[in-house]
Amino acid sequence: MAEIKIEKKKSIWPWILGALLVLLAIWAFTQMGDREEVEAAAVAPVEAPVAEAPVAVEPVGAVEPVETTANAAALLPVATVLAGPAGFVGQEISGTARVTDVPTDRGFWIEQDGQRIFAVIAKGPNMEEAINVNAGQEIMINGAAVHDPSTLAQLGGTLDAEAQKLVTGQQAFLLVEPSDITIVSR
């Protein structure tokens, strides 16, 4: 028998199929990347939180009293009233102040920023509701009427001689209803 040499040509089809699979894989990866970019674009950017300044912490031994709404209230504008009392006559003022002296049952001195003004407790039909104010207390006054000493006679009720003398010597004084006084600290 004779030997016949047959040359086998290698098939090109596996190379074509392999190339198509590679192209298909590349196309699939690019499509997934586009979807992520679209999803990323749809999400709103978030800003990083701004760092706040550090807060100083006091030692345990130096604890301040907790502020209540009464402590946090505005100060009574005593200095402003005394600087121009004519502009405040007939108006009402509110705020916190320290009682420095109680010379009579119907009045007391309050001080704010080194300025003092005399406050007269209004005498109503029932004086049983009069409030007991003592020196050294911090009080909240809600709606004290500013008066000129010349209006003392119009107030009605009687003031003792000491209270009348104190009011007469002032540029202005406050008339406060007992229900408008709140004791903040004793």
- pLDDT at position 12 is 87
Residue 74 pLDDT > 80: yes
**Which residue did the predictor score with more confidence, 50 or 112?**
112
Phi-psi region of 85 (alpha: psi -120 to 50; beta: other; left: phi over 0): alpha
pLDDT at 155: 67
For residue 138, the domain's CATH number is: 2.40.50.140
Looking at the domain assignment, is residue 130 inside a domain?
Answer: yes
The verdict on 153 and 100 lying in the same domain is: yes
**55 or 107: which carries more pLDDT confidence?**
107
With bands split at pLDDT 50, 70 and 90, how would you rate the model's confidence at 23? Answer: very high
Tell me the pLDDT of the chain averaged across its residues: 77
Percent helix, strand and coil across the chain, each rounded to 5?
A: 35, 25, 40
Which has the closest alpha carbon to 120: 103, 136, 135, 137?
103
The sign of the CA dihedral 99, 164, 160, 152 is: negative
Q: What number of CA atoms fall less than 13 Å from residue 27's CA on the CB side?
A: 6
Residue 62 within any structural domain of the chain = no
Supply the pLDDT for residue 106.
85
**Residue 67 falls within a domain, yes or no?**
no
Number of domains within the chain: 2
Q: Which residues form the domain of 115?
A: 78-185
Same domain, 96 and 180: yes
> Considering the domain boundaries, does residue 71 fall inside one?
no
